[in-house]
């Protein structure tokens, strides 16, 4: 069927929930806000309210149930904390539920408008920076003079009327989304009156290579999307996890060095090792230090490699907590981010033996590698790249906010976690600075090899970019 000649494709208005996002229920996202912006008590309270929200929905009072859930989730919470969650936590979960077919149709227009009853503070960053929306029509969250949320939505009832006004002014035509893709019932308003199947075919042809802007920096503690059943599991496990964490703490402090190879099992770490480490790494030889260069997934990276090798190694780190340093089954050396001072520290450790370093300088959870600092390439030509991947079950151990002393607690609270350790070949002398290559070329080569091994993507983003983004000062990520 051919497309009818009409007005050019200029603009559209699309509902976020159910059209662009496959998950139409905003409740799990409110659970994320409750946990990450406030804590476990509010998380539990919101879950207790869920049956009431569902009952109101069955009575046809869905808006009332939604307002109640929003009130419980955010009342009294600093608006800056909610903004942080909307920028650093929610986009990951929104992206996990994105409907690519719906997004391709949406992305084929000039002006793109996203409508949602969810508070603007929760959806605007994702809609504009990841989906490319030009305008967001959403409810507004009330804020008192102390910068805390009142829990009241000021215009949730007029979102639909705003959409209808925009549709009328721009002479847009409504196409039921379920008619296009036969999956859900939501509304897609477009500026071209053509047959829906032809529209879908046209937009898929135009946008099949397009992708939303990926989520690179993700923060927060929760790993799983907290639908009510998962949220209940988290609540039930939390006290059990605390007890298990305490037991693991005690064991970690009491264990002698001879049981180092078995510590991963005690910590609940399921480890898969690929590749063969150089023979020099399997024995302690203080006269020939090798620099193990790794990507950074979690603060336990050096401890996992030490247990895989079956002996202690030194690890140079940037920002471990004192609690983590006490529990670590290896020596940790703090770097200062002063290039000359740090170079001297690393060289001294290499003279003593094998040393571990993460040139990214900070953790990255998503399948991306941050730019590698080139300092390590200037200190030795004995470099062994080690690619790491880490997957927890319930809780992320590291976040950019809060006290870092909680990191090992959340790590040990996981029932188990999965580590993949991949030893790559030691760099030949010709591939190091001693072979005439620049330090930046060597660092980039190591980054590319690790990314190819893990199936990750290289970036030019740095630790500074990460923390500027999490603070809301960098709009380019």
- Domain extents in the chain: 11-207, 255-470
**Digitized pLDDT (tens) for each residue of the chain, 477 residues in all:** 333 344 444 567 778 887 788 888 999 999 999 999 999 999 999 999 999 999 999 999 988 999 999 999 999 999 999 999 999 999 999 999 998 877 887 787 777 888 888 999 999 999 999 998 888 888 889 999 999 999 998 776 666 666 656 655 555 545 444 434 334 444 454 443 333 434 444 444 444 447 899 999 999 999 999 999 999 999 999 999 999 999 988 887 777 767 777 778 888 889 999 998 877 666 655 556 899 999 999 888 988 888 888 888 888 887 666 666 666 667 778 888 788 888 898 888 888 888 999 999 889 999 999 999 999 999 999 999 999 999 999 999 988 777 777 888 899 999 999 999 999 999 999 999 989 899 999 999 999 999 999 999 999 999 889 988 887 654 433
Tell me the two tokens of residue 299.
Answer: 């603060």
| Strands lying side by side in the sheet with 314-317 | 269-274, 417-423, 383-392, 291-294, 355-357, 314-317, 332-334
d(CA 336, CA 344): 11
C-alpha dist (Å) from residue 142 to 37, 69, 126, 239: 16, 15, 20, 34
The pLDDT score that the predictor gives to residue 164 is 59
| Rg, C-alpha atoms of the chain | 26
CA–CA gap between residue 103 and residue 109 (Å, rounded): 11
Contact present, 207 and 104 (Cβ < 8 Å) = yes
- For residue 128, the model assigns a pLDDT of 93
First to last CA, the chain: 41
Per-residue confidence (pLDDT) for residue 181, from 0 to 100: 38
Strand order in the sheet with 111-119: 135-139, 111-119, 11-15, 187-190, 173-176
Domain 11-207: which topology?
A: Rossmann fold (3.40.50)
User: Residue 173 forms beta bridges with which residues?
Assistant: 190
* pLDDT score at 282: 63
Pairing of strands 368-369, 457-458: parallel
CATH code given to domain 255-470: 3.40.1130
Q: How far apart are CA 332 and CA 389, in angstroms?
A: 21
* pLDDT score at 254: 78
pTM for the whole thing?
Answer: 0.86
**431: number of Cβ within 10 Å:** 19
């Amino acid at each position: 069927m051919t497309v009818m000649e009409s007005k050019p494709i200029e603009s559209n208005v699309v509902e976020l929930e159910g059209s662009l996002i496959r998950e139409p229920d905003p409740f799990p996202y409110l659970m994320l806000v409750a946990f990450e912006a406030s804590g476990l008590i509010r998380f539990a309270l919101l879950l207790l309210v869920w049956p009431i929200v569902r009952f109101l929905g069955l009575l046809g009072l869905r808006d009332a149930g939604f307002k109640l859930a929003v009130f419980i989730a955010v009342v009294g919470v600093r608006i800056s904390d909610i903004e942080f969650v909307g920028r650093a936590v929610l986009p990951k979960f929104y992206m996990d539920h994105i409907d690519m077919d719906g997004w391709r149709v949406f992305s084929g227009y000039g002006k793109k408008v996203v409508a949602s009853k969810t508070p603007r503070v929760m959806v605007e960053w994702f809609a504009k920076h990841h989906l490319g929306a030009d305008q967001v029509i959403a409810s507004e969250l009330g804020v008192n003079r102390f910068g805390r949320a009142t829990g009241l939505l000021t215009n949730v009832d007029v979102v639909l009327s705003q959409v209808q006004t925009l549709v009328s002014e721009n002479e847009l035509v409504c196409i039921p989304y379920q008619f296009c893709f036969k999956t859900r019932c939501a509304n897609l308003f477009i500026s071209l009156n053509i047959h829906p199947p032809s529209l879908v075919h046209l937009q898929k042809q135009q946008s099949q290579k397009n992708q939303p802007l990926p989520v690179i920096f993700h923060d927060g503690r929760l790993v799983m999307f907290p639908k009510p059943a998962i949220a209940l599991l988290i609540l039930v496990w939390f006290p059990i996890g605390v007890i298990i964490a305490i037991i693991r703490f005690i064991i970690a402090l009491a264990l002698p060095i001879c049981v180092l190879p078995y510590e991963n099992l005690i910590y609940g770490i399921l480890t898969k090792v690929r590749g063969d480490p150089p023979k020099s790494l399997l024995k302690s030889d203080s006269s020939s230090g090798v620099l193990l260069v790794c990507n950074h997934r979690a603060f336990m990276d050096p401890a996992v490699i030490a247990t895989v090798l079956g002996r202690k190694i030194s690890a140079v780190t940037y920002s471990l907590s004192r609690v983590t340093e006490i529990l670590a089954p290896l020596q940790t050396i703090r770097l200062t981010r002063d290039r000359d001072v740090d170079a001297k520290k690393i060289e001294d450790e290499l003279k003593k033996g094998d040393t571990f370093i993460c040139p990214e300088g900070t953790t990255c959870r998503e399948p991306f590698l941050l730019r590698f600092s080139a300092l390590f390439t200037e200190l030795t030509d004995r470099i062994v790249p080690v690619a790491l991947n880490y997957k927890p079950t319930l809780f992320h151990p590291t976040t950019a906010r809060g006290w870092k002393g909680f990191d090992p607690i959340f790590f040990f609270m996981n029932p188990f976690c999965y580590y993949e350790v991949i030893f790559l070949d030691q760099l030949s002398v010709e591939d190091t600075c001693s072979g005439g290559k620049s330090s930046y070329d060597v660092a980039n080569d190591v980054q590319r090899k690790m990314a190819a091994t893990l199936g990750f993507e290289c970036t030019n983003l740095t630790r500074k970019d990460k923390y500027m983004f999490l603070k809301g000062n960098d709009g380019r990520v």
